[in-house]
């Protein structure tokens, strides 16, 4: 998979993409992540990428010209399955969306900033808008990291155990059951006996029951969303 990210602050991604799963996915050549500074496509002397909004109002708006010029140049080299704009009013990211995007070949992600981007970009060049929650961030960079991580970890070969992602929360419409590891007894706090029994069938049943109960208590809306 190739992921191209358009941003005003490419340096913000360095730490996230240089460690753990995202780094290993690139080292294995499973994923290629390219960062593009939108200012490189600005034509003014001072590389301006924002201007005052027509009609007045507080804040600045990202200009159409550098963003569109950047998108068009990248599109001339790569056929994108989705051109994604990270926006507070986009569809809320969930596991289903991450699964859908993980089987694509090329993604282009646009990080907004200031009061957002010129609406003409959204209506004419963006194919999908995604939000990571009902709140506002200073820019789309952190949301881009969240989206990238959620998608990349699902690609075969990225995780050492490919079945791990299939047992994550939300994959089956439930949150994950409780997890334990050694020691089995820590200061009198013991691991449930069933997990030490070696009875795989009963363990699977226990985990499902625990996941169902935890979902009822913490995220009952997930059960309401199931057909």
Q: pLDDT value at position 224? A: 81
- Determine the structural domain holding residue 195 and report its residue range: 173-225
At residue 2, does pLDDT exceed 80?
yes
* pLDDT (tens digit per residue) in 217-226: 999 998 986 5
Percent of the chain at pLDDT above 70? 94
Q: Are 114 and 48 in contact (CB under 8 A)?
A: no
- pLDDT the model gives residue 173: 83
- Overall domain count for the chain: 2
pLDDT score, position 226: 57
Band (pLDDT 50/70/90 cuts) for residue 166 is: low
CATH label of the domain that carries residue 209: 1.10.1270.20
- CA angle, 10 then 129 then 222, to 5°: 110
Domain of residue 53, CATH code: 3.40.1280.10
What is the rounded distance in angstroms from the CA atom of residue 59 to the CA atom of residue 44? 20
pLDDT at 168 over 70: no
Provide the strand spans (E) within the chain. 2-7, 32-37, 50-51, 61-62, 82-92, 106-111, 128-131, 185-186, 189-190
Q: Is the pLDDT of residue 162 over 60?
A: no
Q: Is the same domain home to 128 and 181?
A: no
- Is residue 99 included in any domain, yes or no? yes
Give pLDDT tens digits for 34-59.
999 999 999 988 999 999 999 999 99
Band (169; pLDDT cuts 50, 70, 90): low
SS3 assignment, position 168: coil
The overall average pLDDT reported for the chain is: 93
pTM, full prediction: 0.87
Domain co-membership, 179 together with 83: no
Question: Is the pLDDT score of 227 beyond 60?
Answer: no
The mean pLDDT value for 112-132 works out to 96
Asked whether residue 60 carries a pLDDT value surpassing 60, the answer given is yes
Picking from 11, 10, 31, 9, the residue whose alpha carbon sits closest to that of residue 20 is: 31
């Amino acid at each position: 998979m190739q992921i191209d990210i358009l941003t005003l602050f490419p340096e913000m991604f360095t730490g996230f993409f240089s460690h753990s799963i995202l780094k290993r996915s690139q080292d294995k050549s499973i994923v290629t992540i390219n960062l593009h500074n939108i200012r490189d496509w600005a034509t003014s002397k001072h590389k301006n990428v924002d201007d005052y909004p027509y009609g007045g109002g507080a804040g600045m708006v990202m200009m159409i010209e550098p963003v569109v010029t950047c998108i068009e140049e990248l599109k001339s080299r790569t056929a994108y399955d989705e051109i994604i704009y990270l926006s507070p009013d986009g569809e809320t990211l969930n596991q289903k969306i991450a699964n859908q995007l993980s089987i694509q070949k090329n993604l282009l992600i646009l990080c907004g900033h200031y009061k957002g981007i010129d609406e003409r970009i959204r209506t004419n060049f963006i194919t999908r808008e995604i939000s990571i929650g009902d709140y506002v961030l200073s820019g789309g960079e952190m949301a881009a990291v969240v989206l990238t991580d959620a998608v990349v970890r699902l690609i075969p070969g990225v995780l050492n155990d490919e079945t791990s992602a299939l047992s994550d929360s939300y994959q089956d419409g439930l949150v994950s059951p409780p997890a334990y590891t050694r020691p089995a007894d820590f200061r009198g706090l013991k691991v449930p006996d069933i997990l030490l029994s070696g009875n795989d069938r009963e363990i699977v049943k226990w985990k499902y029951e625990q996941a169902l109960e935890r979902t009822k208590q913490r995220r009952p809306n997930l059960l309401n969303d199931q057909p």
